[in-house]
Structure 1
Amino acid sequence: MNSFYASVEAAHQPELKGKPIAIAGNPEERRGIVVTCSYEARSKGVKTTMQVHEALKLCPELIVLRPDFTKYRQASKAMFDLLRSYTELVEPVSIDEGYMDITDLSGNPVELIKEIQDRILRELDLPCSIGVSPNKFLSKMASDMKKPMGITVIRKREIREKLWPLPIREMHGVGEKTAEKLAALSISTIGDLARAEEIQLKSLLGMNGLKLRSRANGVDERKVDPESVYDFKSVGNSTTLPRDLTNQNELLKIIEQLSAKVSERLRSKQMLGYGLQVMIRFKNRKTITRSLTLSHPLYEQVHIAEHAKSLFLKHWNGTPVRLLGVTVQDLADKSHAYKQINLFSYKEDVKYEPVEKVMRELEEKHGKGILTRGLKSSKNHQNAETSFSKDFLDDHD
């Protein structure tokens, strides 16, 4: 979907069409941050992460709106329902993006895609861009090539022409840090990556390097999986203590060690998570688990440990402990981190975003300490509130 939140606002208020719009978490504050904006605003230089007062200097006529979560979720559900009227093979990736497999549908595929785009615009009054290809990776790349209201087809034989000349930073799945590492091998374009030596890539990036090389060559065997939207996995680690412990410092040190192992496993899986659970088994073998759901993603050891220790201290009553466990839950692929992040608690979320580009931009411009942290806790993980950008999953039950 193109400039989804701003487009939804314009669909509900036709007088906003064609005007520069920005959605900001707190537009009344001069230090409020623009989290998304219309293409009319972008043409005036307004960008995501920009402070509202800076945006207004560039575009005095900018219309700054508060987010309306209910409207965005309703629009998302309507969009995915429309896609499912063609096929059940629809895989939501985020509130405004997904894959669909049209292999078995009759008719000319490009004409079908045009019909889908026209229907979304006509029935929902929302613009979108669509990528068409033999697999997920190429379709994702194609969908970003023409915005707004673009349709881009990439065939396998067109990879050299359409994909390889692009800068490596534009490749889906390559973040800024990975791009910097690849630059050390003189890899500056997707074509460079496609032709790179496998041994060098594996040495530099591990198995992820080989996966990225395959993607650059147009290879992606992943199927469109409608069930993946419900796939909440976890990565955890626990240990039975050599003796029952009551020393708080020792127990917190063990939680730090467990958090480090969990972080390492998340790295190896290229995953991040939005939930945290701590398990405590006492001397009498009574076991409790306490969980919380966060609006920002967990990935780094220091942040996992910070929240795990806080959760432990909140629920430990001083009784001797014989086992401790730390688990990160509600996992998401790192490549979708931007889509999973809750844009409307942006100042809190962005500090923890493992794709550090946004955080760096904010702190370079406005100084260290501008970002703060927020969390929501619950004894029952399944009833815990989630961030807005993950709440859309509830609409697919």
Structure 2
Amino acid sequence: MEATYQKRSRVIFHVDCNSFFASCEIARDPSLKGKAVVVAGDPKERKGVVLAANYIAKQRFGIYTTMPLWEAKKRCPQLVVLKPDFHLYREISEKVFQFLATFTPVLERASIDEGYLDITDCYSLGSPLDIAEQIQKELLQMLHIPVSIGIAPNKFLAKMASNMKKPLGITVLRKRDVPKVLWPLPVQEMHGIGDKTAKKLNSIGIFTIGELAKAEKVTLQNLLGITGVRLKEWANGIDPRPVDPESGEKWKSIGSSTTLPRNVTEERILLEVLRDLAQSVSNRMKQKGVVSSTVQIMIRYSNFQTITRSKTWENPFQEAEEIFQRAVYLLKRHWNGNPVRLLGITAVDVFDKKEAVKQLDLFHFEEEAKKESLWNTIERLQQKFGNSIIQRGSELFRDKSGDNGKSL
């Protein structure tokens, strides 16, 4: 690796906190060390769902995320079950990244518990292995948080490397190692490929990362669009993306507002405007892969007086209907009835969808899955046939009765 420094090629770390939520709980209460620990949505209910598990729970008892809590307790009667404390997790996450920033300013937060560091210019601190060992040792001593670190010439390989040894692993993955180390693996084990994409690739005879690496570019593009081309590059160990320190700060909030053609006092019309704004915000959140727990509305009256009001809900959201319902709640609570000139909706403090762990019991978990399937179907129909292909009954009634409210 010292030779890598001398050649001045990139050296990228991917630092991944191991079983982060459970590790945070153990850091707060050291008496939990050596015990099987899970974080669950509703520990008092038999129908609760496991949201996170430490490695003792995973490796010794086979407990995994989304497992019904009653089954986890059956596998491990001594299981320690804790309610999630997202304030604690974000506080410790901030401390982790503050520490990592002491090594290099070229630091990118990928989520609450993982990030990339470009240490190409940090040769004065020692070899990459020395630096990785120092990071791992000091995070464990200071914050009691175990991390695995992948060392590679690019972000994709660093991410793959950090997954190879957990907990407390340090793995070096060079581009020349790709055919031997990565190509034999099934495609679903590759970063960036989920179950749906894996099934699509399987449908055309691609089952391993090696087969993906050798597949025809045109075939992949026809199947997956530009994503297929990018995945082929990654499978060959190619990833030119830089570590971007601003990437985690770019989408702190996502909003949409509109000035109305005339001053409006009819609640019905204001609700229609909110619905359109909610759809716009939802679409942009999905494009960025983020969710939020806080909705803010802005109301500007005809006299230009402007107010903003917000509320934070327990569970994160992304769907237009959820954003709309929350905005309606705020409008009904804070609109004083005076003529409105402008309306706006903003999803505040957005964060990566991967962080969105809902405190759901098993039945709500199933209900959410059904909703997501319905929303995805509606979205596909609207993309293919236009937004008007599916309308609420009230909208159809207004169209037939000649109500011109939709002209807004």
Q: Deviations over 1:136-170 (max 9, x none)?
A: 22211211121112222111122233233333333
Residue equivalent to 1:129: 148
Distance in 2 between residues matched to 1:270 and 1:95, nearest whole Å: 14
Tell whether 2:119 aligns with 1:102: yes
Identity %: 48
Q: Give the 5 Å matches for 1:35-114.
A: 35-42=51-58, 43-67=60-84, 72=89, 75-106=92-123, 107-114=126-133
CA RMSD between the two structures? 3.4
SS at match of 2:156: helix
Residue equivalent to 2:401: none
SS at match of 1:5: helix
* 1:150 pairs with one of 137, 159, 169: 169
SS at match of 2:191: coil
Residue equivalent to 1:30: 46
Structure number with greater Rg is 2
Structure 2 gap segments, 5+ residues each: 1-16, 371-408
**Does the 8 A contact of 1:298 with 1:328 survive in 2?**
no
**Does the 8 A contact of 2:42 with 2:360 survive in 1?**
no
Structure 1 gap segments, 5+ residues each: 352-358, 365-397
SS at match of 2:307: strand
SS at match of 2:347: strand
Distance in 1 between residues matched to 2:35 and 2:103, nearest whole Å: 33
Residue equivalent to 1:215: 234
TM-score (norm 1): 0.74
Tell whether 2:187 aligns with 1:168: yes
Aligned length: 350
* 1:266 pairs with one of 271, 274, 285: 285
After TM superposition, give the deviation of residue 130 of structure 1 in Å.
0.9
**Does the 8 A contact of 2:289 with 2:353 survive in 1?**
no
289-298 vs 131-140, greater mean Cα deviation: 289-298
Q: Deviations over 1:301-334 (max 9, x none)?
A: 22222222322232223333343333334344xx
After TM superposition, give the deviation of residue 57 of structure 1 in Å.
0.7
Distance in 1 between residues matched to 2:341 and 2:87, nearest whole Å: 45
Distance in 1 between residues matched to 2:65 and 2:262, nearest whole Å: 52
After TM superposition, give the deviation of residue 133 of structure 1 in Å.
0.8
Tell whether 2:256 aligns with 1:237: yes
22-31 vs 143-152, greater mean Cα deviation: 22-31
Distance in 2 between residues matched to 1:125 and 1:279, nearest whole Å: 43
* One-letter code aligned to 1:160: P
**Does the 8 A contact of 2:41 with 2:360 survive in 1?**
no
Distance in 2 between residues matched to 1:11 and 1:297, nearest whole Å: 25
**Does the 8 A contact of 2:38 with 2:82 survive in 1?**
yes
Q: Give the 5 Å matches for 1:191-210.
A: 191-210=210-229
* One-letter code aligned to 1:23: V
Tell whether 2:356 aligns with 1:346: no
Distance in 1 between residues matched to 2:239 and 2:212, nearest whole Å: 15
SS at match of 1:347: coil
Q: Deviations over 1:165-212 (max 9, x none)?
A: 333333333333444444444444334444444445445544444444
Residue equivalent to 1:323: 342
* One-letter code aligned to 1:63: V
SS at match of 1:266: helix
**Does the 8 A contact of 1:282 with 1:323 survive in 2?**
yes
TM-score (norm 2): 0.72
* One-letter code aligned to 1:171: M
* One-letter code aligned to 2:194: G
* One-letter code aligned to 1:104: D
